[in-house]
Amino acid sequence: MSKFDPYEHMKVILNEDGTLTRLMHLPTTPATGESASDHAVLSKDVTLSEEKKTWMRIYRPAVCNGKLPVIIYFRNGSWITFSVANSIVHEGCNKLSGQVPAIVVAVDYRNAPEHRLPSQYEDATDALRWVNEQATERGGDEWLGRYGDFSRCYLYGSSCGANVAYHAALRSLDLDLRGVTLAGVILNQPLFGGKKRTRSELKMATDQYFPLPVIDLLWELALPPGMDRDHRFCNPMVDEASKAKLRRLGKFLVIGFGGDTLIDRQQDFVQMLVMNGAKVEARFDDVGFHGIEMIDPRRAGAIVSFVKDFV
């Protein structure tokens, strides 16, 4: 029996200089542009930072009746893959914008290991500042200025993107965001970790979708050099300073599935939020696995419904 190779599972090769060669080439979808007449949802690309080579894709319904909530979205990708331009991410944001409905600002943050944490949190902070500028400065983005309700801004992330959304929410407390109100944080199957194994991690260590050796590898590639899985970027349970801030944030929506290797950590995380004064809505389903919405349209639709009800 051959030894399991997490690099092969993720379809990447680690190079001597610490970068990755990514062998999985996912299809991409271009933005529609600002005046496409045959789309229910319009999208356009906006530069976030030329220096960091980060950008965003903004979505809005083609027909907007009044002001809409603004959802700042952080994609999945296991820290090391994906782009907002990937078709599977694009379609998810497209449905989110059309069905909630909402203005969706999807942030294409930098990938590890070329850019390790906290680079992704810094990109999220840049996005928060950018949205705030649209609310406070003249001559900003027309879509947000005309259709965005800055009193209803939400941070939303999936998997590692949920980790980014959580840390972005904490960082928002130290930013001057007088133009926007952070109304809530949406965490879909958040990617957290820790040195001590949970029961679900041990039970599902060989899970075909998200096995434990792969999760360990992703943290090895994403965390700052020399840091272990009990670093606060990975394990929010050990971050006492941040726990004291949770009651200052808006409400939380946490979504998870019973077949996810990380389900125990997600449920422990919800308990931690509640114990520290946060307002939490938890939507856990016994059936399902990590990333199920990427292959099951019914579950993808259910998650959008959860978000719509929450917003």
Catalytic positions are 159, 260, 290
| β-pair partners for 107 | 56, 74
Instruction: Report helix, strand or coil for 267.
Output: helix
| Rounded CA separation 175/274 (Å) | 24
3-state helix, strand, coil in the chain (%, to 5): 35, 25, 40
Complete edge-to-edge strand list for the sheet that includes strand 68-74: 41-49, 54-61, 103-108, 68-74, 148-158, 182-188, 251-257, 280-285
| Rounded CA separation 245/7 (Å) | 37
Q: 307 and 156 in contact (C-beta within 8 Å)?
A: yes
| Rounded CA separation 207/189 (Å) | 16
Q: Identify residue 75 by its one-letter amino acid code.
A: R
Query: What are the structure tokens assigned to 304, written together?
Result: 């959008």
